[in-house]
Amino acid sequence: MECLEKDPARRPASAEAVSARLEAVALEWLWTAERAERWWEMHRPLPADARRLAEVLLSQEGRELRIGPRVRPQG
């Protein structure tokens, strides 16, 4: 979540800093190339779906695109 901080001073300063933080996370199982490939086999978008999504996003270029409800701070 630190990568999403609005204040740049609170974000990681470099890709190396992000990598170090990720390496510090304890995992139940190691993430291997084989596990990654299995994950992508199960979750890879179908080419037709990816093309439709790209067309929608590109058709909105230059306009504000709301994907979900806008959340306004309370108070």
Q: Tell me the C-alpha distance between 36 and 24, whole Å.
A: 19
pLDDT confidence tier of residue 11, bands split at 50, 70 and 90: very high
| Percentages of the chain per state (helix, strand, coil), in multiples of 5 | 50, 0, 50
Segment 29-75, tens digit of pLDDT = 888 999 999 998 888 877 777 778 788 878 877 776 666 666 566 65
> Could you tell me the residue ranges of all domains in the chain?
2-59
Nearby residues of 41 by Cβ (< 8 Å), 6 or more positions away: none
Q: Tell me the C-alpha distance between 20 and 35, whole Å.
A: 21
